Amino acid sequence: MKKVSASLNAKIYRKRSFFHISQYKGKQRPEINEQVVFTLGKNRQGKTQALQVQEWLFVRKQQRKREYWQQQQDEFENNRQLFTVCAMAPYILLAAAWLIGKVPTVLPLWYIIFSLMAFAAYAKDKYAAENGSWRTPENTLHMLSLFGGWSGAWLAQIWLRHKSKKTEFRRIYWLTVLINLSLLFYLLFSPSGHRWLSIWR
């Protein structure tokens, strides 16, 4: 059995050890005095040797990625309640407008129905992703948001943690939110928008 000798430097183990090349994971062959991370074990002859040897730089990069991901998750958890309130805001505002007779019943119902549909679609897609079954097309999710279901989609992203990290998807999602809110403001605050709403009273 061929062995590769290298100086393995670590904070808690500074002795010279040996490891078989099959135990090394890295982009290239190890070099003398290269810093690595490893665990100590014994070979078939009962001698102590380094096992699961990896490049220190690679391990450090992975640690930084995990630390960054954990930081993002902590921030997400801390802001979850705030995001939930923001996602529920359209329902509150439309309900208030309906109570004072500013909007027809169909408008808040429209948003509620499409939000429920969007939440259900996200839940179904997450289940499909976890179980390897047929996925819901992203275009379908975006169309539901565009037609007013963006609030339910946001709640799904918050509480189901689905599609909450995919950058390109979220860009398009927020574009659908912007378009839908622009249309809503048009209906609520423009004379022609009022005429459209009056048809449904």
pLDDT score recorded for residue 11: 45
Q: Is 197 exposed, middle or buried (0-12, 13-18, 19+ CB in 10 A)?
A: middle
CB-CB contact of 178 with 141 (8 Å): no
CB-CB contact of 193 with 187 (8 Å): yes
* Mean pLDDT along residues 148-173: 93
Q: How crowded is the C-beta side of 47, counted as CA atoms within 13 Å?
A: 7
Task: Write the CATH number of the domain with boundaries 3-60.
Answer: 2.40.50.140
CB-CB contact of 32 with 7 (8 Å): yes
pTM: 0.64
Torsion from C-alpha of 81, 87, 93, 96, nearest 10 degrees: -70
Distance, in Å, from the CA atom of 96 to the CA atom of 173, rounded to the nearest integer, reads 26
pLDDT score recorded for residue 78: 73
CB-CB contact of 188 with 158 (8 Å): no
182 compared with 46, residue with greater pLDDT: 182
Task: State the sign of the Cα–Cα–Cα–Cα dihedral 61, 62, 65, 70.
Answer: negative
Give the model's confidence band at 55: pLDDT under 50 very low, under 70 low, under 90 confident, else very high.
low
> Which residues of the chain are in CATH 2.40.50.140 domains?
3-60
Distance, in Å, from the CA atom of 196 to the CA atom of 67, rounded to the nearest integer, reads 51
State the residue for tokens 């007779």. Answer: 101
Distance, in Å, from the CA atom of 98 to the CA atom of 75, rounded to the nearest integer, reads 35
pLDDT score recorded for residue 145: 98
